[in-house]
Chain A
Amino acid sequence: SQTIHQWPATLVQPVGSPLSLECTVEGTSNPNLYWYRQAAGRGLQLLFYSVGIGQISSEVPQNLSASRPQDRQFILSSKKLLLSDSGFYLCASRDRRGANVLTFGAGSRLTVL
């Protein structure tokens, strides 16, 4: 089964600073990878997904970007954070070989001050 590692778990950053959240996946190969954000309240918003190395699809316009430099690595970045970027960021992976199940990492909680 898949294991998703996310870091850092918590992060406090000033407005205008850069951001890098990392996600790595174990136990699968060539997965579909996803970044979700959960802001105040409880809805999950899909930010980016990737079906392969270097292939990124963006779901919403924003000042965030994503990259997939390796098969099982997914990175969420920003050059200059905004207050509205605060939230809980979740990386997820779907193993395309077997059951069509989405598995989540433990999340990264970002506070922008």
Chain B
Amino acid sequence: GIQVEQSPPDLILQEGANSTLRCNFSDSVNNLQWFHQNPWGQLINLFYIPSGTKQNGRLSATTVATERYSLLYISSSQTTDSGVYFCAVNSGNTPLVFGKGTRLSVIA
């Protein structure tokens, strides 16, 4: 099956800093989503981005499907950005396969 690798596994940022999270996947996909898991465990969908670039406020994401990777950019980070960021992919009607996540800690 598809393998998903996320990097870095852990990241500590000073408030106001920028960061880039990476997601590599091993096969062609027709779905890629980025999620943020908040401290209460809720998984929030950030982007549905099988290809191209999208932006939502301080967050943006780019997926280069031909090279099998996606990047999540966080600019001017805030303490509320802390949590775990997951990348998940699938092809066809198969279930999403999740990476192990990047744990982000933003300190004031």
A residues sitting closer than 8 Å to B (CB atoms) are 32, 34, 38, 42-44, 46, 49, 51, 59, 88, 90, 92, 99-104, 106-107, 109
Classify chain B's interface size: 20 to 34
| Residue contact A42 to B31, C-beta cutoff 8 Å | no
Interface residues of B (CB under 8 A from A): 30-31, 33, 35, 37, 40-45, 48, 50, 84, 86, 88, 93, 95-96, 98, 100-101, 103
Q: Is the interface of A mostly helix, strand, loop or mixed?
A: strand
B42 touches A107 (CB 8 A): yes
Asked if residues A51 and B45 are in contact (CB atoms below 8 Å), the reply is: no
CB pair B98–A43 under 8 Å, yes or no, is yes
CA distance A34 to B88 in the complex (A): 14
Answer whether A106 and B98 are a contact pair too, CB < 8 Å, given A42-B103, A51-B93: no
B86's contact among A44, A49, A100, A107, by CB below 8 Å, is which? A44
- CB-CB under 8 A for A101 and B48, given A42-B103, A107-B42: yes
